[in-house]
Amino acid sequence: MQPQRQRQREAPHAPGSSYGANQQKRRDEALARQRASRLHRSNVARLLHNSENTVQEQQEATEMSRIEE
């Protein structure tokens, strides 16, 4: 009787319960959220950088056309 009680203390969640699987699922979902937000931030940064470049290119083009006139 004593060894069985000891075993229950070591593993508070019943064998065959989905506690471990749920915990892993939560961990995976958290990692996916982190990855998505990191990807989103890098995409936003890249888009901002690209838009800055196009604005600069447009300004340079208008300056060149002014010089030509």
Residues 6+ apart with CB under 8 A from 19: 13
Joined together, the tokens standing for residue 47 give 């888009």
Place of tokens 């989103």: 40
Length reported for the chain? 69
pLDDT of 21 above 60: yes
Q: Among 10-19, 25-34, 55-64, name the one with the lowest average pLDDT.
A: 10-19
Domain ranges within the chain, ordered by starting residue: 43-69
Question: Tens digit of pLDDT for each residue in 22-41?
Answer: 899 999 999 999 999 999 99
What does the DSSP assignment read for 21-67?
HHHHHHHHHHHHHHHHHHHHHHHHHHHHHHHHHHHHHHHHHHHHHHH
